[in-house]
Amino acid sequence: VSVQKLSLLKAGYCLVDASSLDTRRPAGDMARLPIWSYLIETTDGPILIDTGMPESCIHDPEGFFRGTEDEGLIVPQMQEQDLITNVLARCGYAPRDLVCVISTHLHFDHAGGNLLFPHTDVVLQKAEYEAALKQDNYFDVCKDPTLSYHLVEGDREFLPGVHLIFTPGHTPGHQSVLVHTPNDTIILAIDAAYHRPNYEDGVPFAVRDAEQARESIAKLKRLAKETSAKVFFGHDAGQAEAWKVYPEFY
What is the DSSP pairing of strand 3-17 with strand 74-77? Answer: antiparallel
Taking the alpha carbons at both ends of the chain, their separation in whole angstroms is 17
Minimum CB–partner distance for residue 236 and Zn ion (Å)? 11
Integer Cα distance of 122 and 49 in angstroms: 10
User: For Zn ion, what does the binding mask look like between residues 171 and 210, x meaning CB under 5 A?
Assistant: --------------------x-------------------
Residue type, 69: E
136 Cβ contact list (under 8 Å, min separation 6): none
148 Cβ contact list (under 8 Å, min separation 6): 118, 119, 120, 121, 122
The DSSP symbol for 93 reads -
Minimum CB–partner distance for residue 187 and Zn ion (Å)? 16
Q: Does 17 bind Zn ion (CB under 5 A)?
A: no
Between 108 and 129, whose beta carbon lies closer to Zn ion? 108
Q: Does 128 bind Zn ion (CB under 5 A)?
A: no
Cα distances (angstroms) measured from residue 91 to each of 49, 94, 98, 118: 14, 9, 12, 20
What is the DSSP pairing of strand 100-102 with strand 45-49? Answer: parallel
Minimum CB–partner distance for residue 96 and Zn ion (Å)? 26
Minimum CB–partner distance for residue 44 and Zn ion (Å)? 28
Within 68-107, the residues that bind Zn ion by CB under 5 A are none
Question: Cβ(40)–Cβ(97) under 8 Å?
Answer: no
Between 149 and 194, whose beta carbon lies closer to Zn ion? 194
Q: Does 109 bind Zn ion (CB under 5 A)?
A: yes
Between 142 and 162, whose beta carbon lies closer to Zn ion? 142
Between 4 and 23, whose beta carbon lies closer to Zn ion? 23
Minimum CB–partner distance for residue 35 and Zn ion (Å)? 7
Between 55 and 191, whose beta carbon lies closer to Zn ion? 191
| Beta-bridge partner residues of 232 | 188
Between 110 and 180, whose beta carbon lies closer to Zn ion? 110
Between 166 and 194, whose beta carbon lies closer to Zn ion? 194
Minimum CB–partner distance for residue 107 and Zn ion (Å)? 5
Say how many residues touch Zn ion, by CB under 5 A: 2
Minimum CB–partner distance for residue 142 and Zn ion (Å)? 12
Question: Cβ(231)–Cβ(223) under 8 Å?
Answer: no
The DSSP symbol for 223 reads H
| Beta-bridge partner residues of 49 | 38, 102
Contacts to Zn ion by CB under 5 A: 109, 191
